[in-house]
Amino acid sequence: MNVNVSQVWCVVVLAVVVWAGSGTVARAVSMPQAAAETSAVAAAAEEAKLEEARSLQCPSGLERFLPGAYYYCVGARDLARNHDNRGIDMLQTAAGWGSKAAQLTLGVGYFKGDVVPADRPLGLAWLGLAAERHDPAYVAIFRSAWDKASPAERTRADALWKAMKPQYGDDYAARRAERRYRHAREELVRNDVYGAQVCIAGLTTAQLVPMDFRSPDATSCFGSMPVSFAAKKVDAYADRLFEGWSGHVSVGALQPVAATPSK
C-alpha cells in the first residue's frame, strides 16, 4: 500500500469512519481521489467531512466502560472544531486507554506539525505504538514516515518509543482498558434480572432526563432499554477498541521489523 503521510492527518483527525464503525482508516487512506476530481469538489468533500466530525456525538455514558473510545471521539471532535489543545489532551488520554486510533492521530500530527509543533521523532514513536497490532493501514503509515526519517530521528524515536511503551503500549494500556471494561460491564449485567431496564447517557438515550421522584414509577427512567441490549452496544465499541490486540507484546527496537511493523 502506497500511503502519503502528508495526506493522512485530516483523514485521521476526522476519524468519522472509525468512530461510526462504517469502515476503517485503511479504507480511508487507500482510496485516492479520482484524477478528474476538481479542487472545488475536493474542497467541498473535505468540508463535509469536517462538518461531520464537528457534530460527532460522543456518548458520555461510554466513559465508565471504555475511556479510550470515549476520549478518542471527544479529541477528534475537538480538533475538528479547532479546539487544538483540548483535542490533543483528549487524544493523549485515549492513547493511555488503549486507543490505537488516538495514537495514530497523534503520530501523524507530530510528524507533520499541523496542529502541534513538529516533532518527527515523537511522531514516529506514536506511530510505532499505533502499529503494534499490525493493522495494515497503520503499518503502512508508520513505514512511510520511517522511510522519510533521518538516522538521528530514528535513534531518538526509538528512545522515545521505549520510554512511552510502558504507559501506552498494549501490554499496559490495553490490559488496563480491558480490566476497566470487564469490571464496568459485570456491574451492568449483574442487574439483568426480571427484565431490568437501564439508562446510559448517549447509548440508550441522547441525554438523561431528571426523574420526578414524586412519581410512583420513580425507579424508571426516560430512554431506557433492557440491560442485555445496552451491554451489546457497549460490546460493539469494545470490539472496535480492542480489534487486533492479541494480549501479548514483544519489546524490541522501534524499527519496521518483527515486533513492530515489518517492511
Asked if residue 110 belongs to a domain, the reply is yes
* Of residues 64, 102, 12, 65, the one with CA closest to residue 239: 65
First CA to last CA distance, the chain: 11
Dihedral, CA of residue 228, residue 230, residue 236 and residue 241, to nearest 10: -120
What is the C-alpha separation between 59 and 204, in angstroms, rounded? 9
155/197 same-domain check: no
Q: Could you please report the per-residue DSSP string of 191-222?
A: T--TT-EE--BTTTBSSPPPP-TTSTTTT--T
39/148 same-domain check: yes
The confidence score (pLDDT) of residue 253 equals 52
217/157 same-domain check: no
Could you tell me the pTM of the whole model? 0.76
Query: Which residue, of 113, 136, 168, is where some domain finishes?
Result: 168
Cα-Cα-Cα-Cα dihedral sign, residues 25, 85, 78, 198: positive
Specify the number of domains making up the chain.
2
The confidence score (pLDDT) of residue 228 equals 86
Asked if residue 255 belongs to a domain, the reply is no
Q: Are 71 and 94 in contact (CB under 8 A)?
A: yes
* Of residues 226, 223, 157, 163, the one with CA closest to residue 191: 226
For the chain, which residues score pLDDT lower than 50?
1-36, 207-220, 248-251, 257-259, 261-263
63/164 same-domain check: yes
The confidence score (pLDDT) of residue 254 equals 58
Q: How far is CA 235 from CA 59, 73, 152, 214, 259, in A?
A: 14, 17, 43, 35, 28
Cβ burial of 225 (10 Å; 0-12, 13-18, 19+) is: middle
Asked if residue 131 belongs to a domain, the reply is yes
Region of residue 150 (phi > 0: left; psi between -120 and 50: alpha; otherwise: beta): beta
The confidence score (pLDDT) of residue 226 equals 86
The parent domain of residue 55 ranges over: 5-168
What is the C-alpha separation between 248 and 201, in angstroms, rounded? 34
Q: Are 127 and 104 in contact (CB under 8 A)?
A: yes
122/224 same-domain check: no
Asked if residue 149 belongs to a domain, the reply is yes
Region of residue 53 (phi > 0: left; psi between -120 and 50: alpha; otherwise: beta): alpha
Query: Which positions ≥6 away from 239 have C-beta within 8 Å?
Result: none
Q: Are 151 and 189 in contact (CB under 8 A)?
A: no
111/211 same-domain check: no
* Of residues 19, 11, 13, the one with CA closest to residue 116: 13
In the block, cell 493493522 appears at 135
What is the C-alpha separation between 83 and 182, in angstroms, rounded? 32
